[in-house]
């Protein structure tokens, strides 16, 4: 019982909730015909642009997508359409999913999340049916639709076993994208844009490339994510930014959280150089485990 009490005490300090799963049974969610699992997931998002640290250019392009879609009626009256098919590319952990959440939140459209992999069926032809069901669903409402890890399409293209079916899926997806008439905004995200060919690229209204953060952005990330605690005077944000060249925004988030946890568990109430250096070395170790060539 005391544990429970402790938990509710610490619960007060939780940061405000950013993702909220909507009651998905309210929607007639399309399901995979073979296995019956849901093909997409719907949630409500509570993020803002202040959550995102990227170059001004990326921010402007994201804001442009929002302002065009907000002025959709005006554009329609001139026979024009807002950009609503966007490709996000760039290395993992650079803010692609986060940006889709921000657009969903700012537009006030629920986020429809589709893991691209999950629509591939082992039955010939079923994949196309799954795709059709997803498009039928999203065309009926106003959603931000994230097709995540879209590169699976590119990745498997060279695999002789998968080749025929994947090629069909790519063609299907492209056709559906071409014929897509809806107020929903489609975002496809990939870490492997080099695997996508020109035919794929030109189907999108805009392509936004998320890069690893430069030194200025790394500094801002450390500042943002260390804010929870006071910082000791034995290090500067500049030093941290210089030590984390080639680290992604998500890496820096993890470093900060690791350092904060260490300090909080030890009841130190301040984050020191030791905490951070330890957290950086831990992140380096994790990165090595994931990709040994680093
Ligand atoms: N540009 C960024 N600005 C602020 N935080 C970021 C940024 N990129 C990533 N993060 C942090 O890392 C987490 C994972 O990032 P995510 O958007 O899922 O990366 P991606 O989809 O590009 O692989 C985010 O939820 C956020 O906490
Ligand atoms: Mg992602």
In order along the chain (294 residues), what is the average pLDDT of each group of 10 residues?
A: 39 56 78 84 94 97 98 96 95 97 97 84 76 92 92 60 68 87 93 76 92 98 96 96 96 97 94 95 88 56
Q: Is residue 142 part of a domain?
A: yes
Give the binding-site residues of ligand 1, using a 6 Å CB cut-off: 52-54, 92-98, 210, 249-250, 253
Do the beta carbons of residue 226 and residue 271 sit within 8 Å?
A: yes
pTM for this model (two decimals): 0.88
Question: Domain boundary residue among 209, 236, 251?
Answer: 209
Tell me: do 148 and 240 sit in the same domain: no
**Domain for residue 233, yes or no?**
yes
Provide the domain limits for residue 230: 215-289
Q: Whose CA is nearest to atom 11 of ligand 1?
A: 250
Residue 6 inside a domain? The answer is no
Cα angle 154, 58, 84 (rounded to 5 degrees) comes to: 60
What average pLDDT does the chain have? 86
Please, which residues bridge with residue 87 across strands? Answer: 188, 207
CA of 99 from ligand 2 middle (Å) equals 9
Residue 60 CA, chain-centre distance (Å), reads 18
DSSP label at residue 118? G
Instruction: Select from 190, 209, 228 the last residue of a domain.
Output: 209
Is 7 part of any domain? no
**Whether 90 and 205 share a structural domain:** yes
Tell how far the Cα of 97 is from the centroid of ligand 1, in angstroms: 7
Ligand 1 pocket test, pick from 50, 59, 93, 254 with the greatest ligand atom count within 8 Å of Cβ, gives: 93
Number of domains in the chain: 2
Specify whether 130 is located in the same domain as 255: no
Q: What distances in angstroms separate CA 192 from CA 38, 87, 92, 168, 174, one per listed residue?
A: 26, 12, 9, 20, 18
Q: How do residues 50-103 score in pLDDT, each as one tens digit?
A: 999 999 999 999 999 999 999 999 999 999 999 999 999 999 999 999 999 999
Q: How far is the CA of 100 from the centre of ligand 2 (A)?
A: 9
Predicted local confidence at residue 3, as pLDDT: 40
Q: Quick one: 131 and 238 in the same domain?
A: no
């Amino acid at each position: 019982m005391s544990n429970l009490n402790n938990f509710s005490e610490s619960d007060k300090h939780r940061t405000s909730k950013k993702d909220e799963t909507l009651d998905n049974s309210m929607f007639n969610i399309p399901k995979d015909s073979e296995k019956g699992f849901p093909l997409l997931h719907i949630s409500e998002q509570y993020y803002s642009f202040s959550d995102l640290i990227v170059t001004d250019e990326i921010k402007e392009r994201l804001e442009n997508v929002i302002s065009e879609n907000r002025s959709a009626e005006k554009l329609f009256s001139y026979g024009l359409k807002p950009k609503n098919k966007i490709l996000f590319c760039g290395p993992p952990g650079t803010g692609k999913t986060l940006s889709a959440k921000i657009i969903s939140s700012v537009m006030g459209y629920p986020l429809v999340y589709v893991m691209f992999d999950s629509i591939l069926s082992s039955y010939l032809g079923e994949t196309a049916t799954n795709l059709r069901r997803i498009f039928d669903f999203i065309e009926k409402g106003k959603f931000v639709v994230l097709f995540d890890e879209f590169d699976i399409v590119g990745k498997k293209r060279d695999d002789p076993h998968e080749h025929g079916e994947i090629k069909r899926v790519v063609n299907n997806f492209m056709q559906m994208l071409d014929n897509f008439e809806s107020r929903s905004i489609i975002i496809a995200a990939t870490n492997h844009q080099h695997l996508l060919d020109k035919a794929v690229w030109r189907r999108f209204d805009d392509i936004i490339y998320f890069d690893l953060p430069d030194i200025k952005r790394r500094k801002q990330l450390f500042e943002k994510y260390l804010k929870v605690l006071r910082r000791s005077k034995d290090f500067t944000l500049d030093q941290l930014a210089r030590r984390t060249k080639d680290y992604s925004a998500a890496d820096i988030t993890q470093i900060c959280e690791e350092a904060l946890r260490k300090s909080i568990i030890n009841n130190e109430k301040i984050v020191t150089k030791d905490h951070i250096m330890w957290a950086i070395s831990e992140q380096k170790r994790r990165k090595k485990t994931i990709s040994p060539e680093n």
